[in-house]
Every structure is written in C-alpha cells, then in structure tokens.
Amino acid sequence: MGTATVRFQARKSVAQVEEGAELAPKFDDRGLITVVTTDADSGEVLMQGYMSAEALQLTISTGEAHYYSRSRQALWHKGATSGLVQTVRELLIDDDQDCIWLRVDVAGGASCHVGYRSCFYRKVPVGDEFAARQTDGHVALEWTETEKVFDPEEVYGDAPNPTIL
C-alpha cells in the first residue's frame, strides 16, 4: 500500500493532455470524472461510476477501487458494505483525460447492487432484430444474465436503493 498522496498536474495544453506522460485529469463542474470498470479476465463491463479527486487519489494509492456515490453524495470504498471489493489490476486514462478505465478483480464475483455479476444484464435488440421485434416502436429488453450472484436484501438489508427515477 502506498502512503504518498497522489498529486495531479495542471492542464496546460492539448499536446500535454493527449500525448504527454503527465497525469492531468479533468473533473467536471461537479468535481467528478467518469469511470468505466471491467472484469480484468472476461473484459465484461461491470459498472459505470464516478470518482472525485479524492476517490481517484485513493484508488491509485491503495490499488482498490474508490468511487464517489452521487446518490449518497459521499466517498465510496466499493465493497465496504457488501465485501465485493474491486482490486485494480490496471488503471487507464483516455486521450483527453476525462475518463478512467479500471480493469479489476472482483471479490465474490459480483458488482451490481441488484445482485447480478455486471450492472449490464439486459440488452436491446438493434438493427434488423429491432425491426423484426418492435411493436409500435417499442421493444422488450432481453436478459443476458439469468441468475443473481447474491441476494441484495441479505447483503444490503434495508439500505436505500441507489436508483433515482
């Protein structure tokens, strides 16, 4: 575990940000950067979330995924409640440094609060499949995972559901 505080560089030029070796992340007007988290083995997208500067610093220094929960408005050490900690195998940043890609190993094999392995457990038919299956422009979602890895009620009890309508 590293103990040094991670520091970022100021954003000075497109060349620096896109082609340079300086870590100069862009946080949006909420102070957040977008994060995509995939399973390091399967490549499956597990979740999409956000990090504050502090969450990104802690993720880099500890090697465990930290996020910022918009629904709880708080720093979020993933797995602190559920035990489903994400160990970071690789942390990548995109061309304009406003998005993080985490490749992780997940304790317990699940990342979704609904109980599935991935948050992306339903798909939408596209193109010819959409045309064949749509009724008046509406189409039914199809499940790509059929069994939950855990029971959300057992793990989270009566904690408030993070989904906002």
When binding is defined by CB under 8 A, the residue of 92, 109, 153, 159 that contacts a second copy is: 92
Binding of a second copy at residue 146 (CB under 8 A)?
no
For the chain, the C-alpha Rg in angstroms (whole number) is: 18
When binding is defined by CB under 8 A, the residue of 59, 78, 84, 117 that contacts a second copy is: 59
- Contact by Cβ (8 Å): 124, 100: no
Binding of a second copy at residue 53 (CB under 8 A)?
no
What is the contact mask toward a second copy in residues 60 to 89, using x (rule: CB under 8 A)? xxxx------------------------x-
- Contact by Cβ (8 Å): 6, 57: yes
For a second copy, the binding residues in 97-136 under the rule CB under 8 A are: 99, 101, 112-114, 116, 119-128, 130-131, 134, 136
Region of residue 60 (left: phi > 0; alpha: psi -120 to 50; beta: else): alpha
Minimum Å gap between C-beta 72 and a second copy is 14
Q: How far apart are CA 3 and CA 75, in angstroms?
A: 18
Q: Which helix (H) or strand (E) holds 76?
A: strand 74-77
Binding of a second copy at residue 164 (CB under 8 A)?
yes
Minimum Å gap between C-beta 48 and a second copy is 4
For a second copy, the binding residues in 10-39 under the rule CB under 8 A are: 11-14, 17-23, 26, 34, 36, 38
Amino acid at 124: V
- Contact by Cβ (8 Å): 105, 89: yes
When binding is defined by CB under 8 A, the residue of 74, 83, 105, 141 that contacts a second copy is: 141
Q: Count residues contacting a second copy (CB under 8 A)?
A: 74
Evaluate the CA torsion angle 38, 39, 43, 47 in order and state its sign.
negative
Binding of a second copy at residue 45 (CB under 8 A)?
yes
